[in-house]
């Protein structure tokens, strides 16, 4: 552990700089300058299969929460396998504002988070982070425990639906928090301390489950959480909290039981791999008729995806150090998918896979049941020649959470089509990656703009495209 990092995002960024990537100059990048591209744009010449090996590091949706958990410890924590993505840098910036000392370790992706001097941050400084991520909402419980107060700026994140925080706020109130809405965020206090509660979530929300965990571990007494999310990233967070001294049991039927303890220590933990990134590269292998070894990936957390990948006509081999995904030749087959909470098919997997489905022989259907607005990315695919019709009527199931509302809930994709290159703009993180895949698959040239969104969740993706033999022009 050597170098101290400042609150500046640029400095924090160096903490996860990939040693392999450092200093590498791409011919493609130099060419980008010549054609006047900004660093937010890429020109892709499609039609070349992606082939080679890339590594996937820790999950965005765990690493950011693990960093928040470090606030709860009396002693420093060490998080390994931290990805170099902008969502991590946003959380690091917020932690630093609250007095957490962040230093980088000797290994790439190793961070030490020292919460010994946690302090109240200036509201104006926190405001500067408004709209940049959804993670700040998870600071509520830890800051209330550490400081007795919290200010949370307005949240950002992908615009893929309303994304309310009512489950979070209801749960915090049950612990005893008092919440005041301010013009640019919310302010919380806990005049009588935080006490264990009996909470039932209306839906197994990932974020609300994390909120309850991060609050209950130091709350006085016991907490029973029913209808909890049980995603692998949640289980990894529970492992972290247990290392810190928490007492948490996962019980059948989505029940999590937490016995509050008076204090926690720091943890030493390697973040679980990013299964969303893994699925994205797997989909890229399939759509480009390529062959990609995705290092750092494990089978168990990918089982649901692997089944669908095989049904569509992709092939894979599971190795100790990763999974190889490839297109074995022949026609791809259509599928019917309903996105769902774990262990169902993740909502984050559908966008990258849709590109491959445009090449399948026949009609595929995707029912999106987690978010109300996650088909916006299909407009660009249609512009590129895809046959995709999006419907406001979803599955006819009485028990469905999103009923017959005015949301685009189902997409019917008819293939095979030949995608043509086009100028397209990235709308959100996963939709953006699907645009990259579409451009890589299409005949001719595509210009993809608004690339910055993709770096929120995909580490060194330009480097990885280069390693996989993509034909592109980019200015770093």
Dihedral sign of CA atoms 458, 464, 465, 466 in order: positive
Six token digits for residue 209: 């489950």
Comparing CB distances to ligand EPU, the nearer of 342 and 466 is 342
- Residue showing the smallest CB distance to ligand EPU in the complex: 207
Instruction: Give the three-state DSSP class for 65.
Output: helix
Residues forming the site for ligand EPU (CB under 6 A): 60-61, 134, 158, 161-168, 203, 205-208, 229, 231, 276, 346-348, 370-371, 429-430, 457
Beta carbon of residue 18, minimum distance to ligand EPU (angstroms, whole number) = 20
Going through 17-123 in order, the beta strands assigned E by DSSP cover 41-45, 51-55, 77-80, 101-104, 111-114
Comparing CB distances to ligand EPU, the nearer of 126 and 137 is 137
Longest dimension (CA), the chain: 65
Beta carbon of residue 157, minimum distance to ligand EPU (angstroms, whole number) = 7
Distance of CA 194 to the CA centre of its chain: 29
Beta carbon of residue 313, minimum distance to ligand EPU (angstroms, whole number) = 26
Comparing CB distances to ligand EPU, the nearer of 180 and 192 is 180
CB-based contact 414:404 (threshold 8 Å): no
Contacts of 398 (CB under 8 A, 6+ apart): none
Comparing CB distances to ligand EPU, the nearer of 100 and 429 is 429
Distance of CA 374 to the CA centre of its chain: 14
Beta carbon of residue 90, minimum distance to ligand EPU (angstroms, whole number) = 11
Comparing CB distances to ligand EPU, the nearer of 231 and 291 is 231
Strand order in the sheet with 445-449: 423-425, 445-449, 41-45, 471-474
Beta carbon of residue 372, minimum distance to ligand EPU (angstroms, whole number) = 7
Question: CB count, 10 Å around CB of 397?
Answer: 11
Beta carbon of residue 389, minimum distance to ligand EPU (angstroms, whole number) = 23
Beta carbon of residue 165, minimum distance to ligand EPU (angstroms, whole number) = 5
**Cα 335 to Cα 325: distance, rounded to the nearest angstrom:** 18
Closest by CA to 441, choosing from 366, 371, 374, 385, is 385
Between helix 275-287 and helix 303-312 the angle, nearest 10°, is 10
Dihedral sign of CA atoms 258, 259, 265, 269 in order: negative
Q: Tell whether omega for the bond before 343 is within 30 degrees of 0, i.e. cis.
A: yes
Is residue 140 part of the annotated active site? The answer reads no
User: Per the residue annotation, which of 42, 158, 190, 357 is the catalytic one?
Assistant: 158
Which residues are 315's β-sheet partners? 326
Comparing CB distances to ligand EPU, the nearer of 172 and 287 is 172
**Cα 462 to Cα 472: distance, rounded to the nearest angstrom:** 9
Comparing CB distances to ligand EPU, the nearer of 46 and 83 is 83
The runs of H, that is alpha helices, within 70-205 are 86-97, 123-127, 140-147, 166-175
**Cα 199 to Cα 375: distance, rounded to the nearest angstrom:** 32
Active site residues: 158
């Amino acid at each position: 552990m050597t170098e101290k990092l400042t609150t500046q995002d640029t400095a924090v960024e160096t903490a996860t700089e990939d040693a392999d990537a450092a200093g590498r100059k791409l011919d493609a990048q130099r060419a980008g300058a010549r054609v006047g591209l900004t660093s937010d744009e890429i020109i892709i010449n499609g039609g070349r299969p992606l082939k080679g090996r890339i590594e996937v590091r820790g999950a965005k949706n765990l690493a950011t929460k693990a960093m928040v958990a470090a606030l709860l410890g009396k002693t420093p924590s060490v998080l390994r396998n931290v990805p170099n993505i902008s969502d991590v840098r946003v959380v690091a910036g917020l932690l630093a504002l609250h007095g957490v000392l962040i230093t980088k370790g000797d290994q790439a992706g190793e961070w030490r988070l020292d919460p010994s001097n946690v302090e109240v941050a200036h509201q104006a400084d926190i405001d500067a982070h408004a709209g940049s991520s959804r993670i700040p909402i998870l600071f509520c419980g830890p800051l209330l425990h550490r400081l007795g107060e919290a200010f949370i700026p307005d949240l950002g994140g992908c615009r893929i639906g309303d994304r309310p925080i009512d489950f979070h706020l209801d749960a915090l109130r049950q612990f005893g928090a008092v919440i005041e809405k301010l013009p640019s965020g919310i302010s919380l206090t806990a005049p009588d301390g935080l006490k264990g509660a009996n909470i039932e979530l209306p839906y197994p929300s990932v974020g609300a489950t994390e909120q309850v965990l991060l609050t209950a571990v130091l709350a006085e007494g016991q907490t029973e959480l029913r209808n909890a999310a049980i995603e692998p990233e949640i289980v990894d967070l529970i492992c972290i909290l247990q290392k810190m001294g928490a007492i948490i049991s996962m019980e059948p039927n989505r029940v999590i039981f937490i016995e509050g303890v008076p204090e926690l220590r720091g943890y030493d933990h390697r973040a679980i791999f990013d299964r969303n990134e893994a699925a994205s590269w797997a989909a890229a292998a399939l759509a480009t008729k390529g062959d990609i070894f995705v290092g750092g990936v494990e089978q168990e957390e990918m089982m649901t995806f692997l089944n669908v990948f095989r049904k569509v006509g992709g092939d894979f081999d599971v190795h100790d150090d990763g999974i190889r995904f490839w297109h074995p030749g022949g026609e791809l087959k259509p599928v019917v998918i309903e996105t769902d909470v774990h262990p169902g098919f993740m909502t984050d997997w559908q966008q990258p896979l849709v590109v491959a489905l445009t090449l399948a022989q026949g009609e595929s259907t995707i029912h999106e049941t987690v978010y109300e607005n996650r088909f916006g990315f299909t407009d660009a695919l249609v512009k590129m020649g895809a046959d995709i019709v999006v419907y406001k009527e979803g599955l006819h199931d009485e028990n469905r959470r999103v009923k017959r509302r005015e949301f685009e809930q189902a997409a019917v994709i008819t293939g095979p089509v030949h995608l043509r290159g086009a100028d397209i703009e990235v709308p959100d993180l996963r939709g953006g990656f699907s645009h990259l895949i579409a451009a890589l698959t299409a005949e001719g040239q595509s210009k993809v703009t608004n690339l910055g969104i993709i770096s929120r969740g995909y580490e060194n993706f330009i480097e990885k495209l280069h390693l996989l033999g993509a034909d592109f022009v980019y200015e770093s």
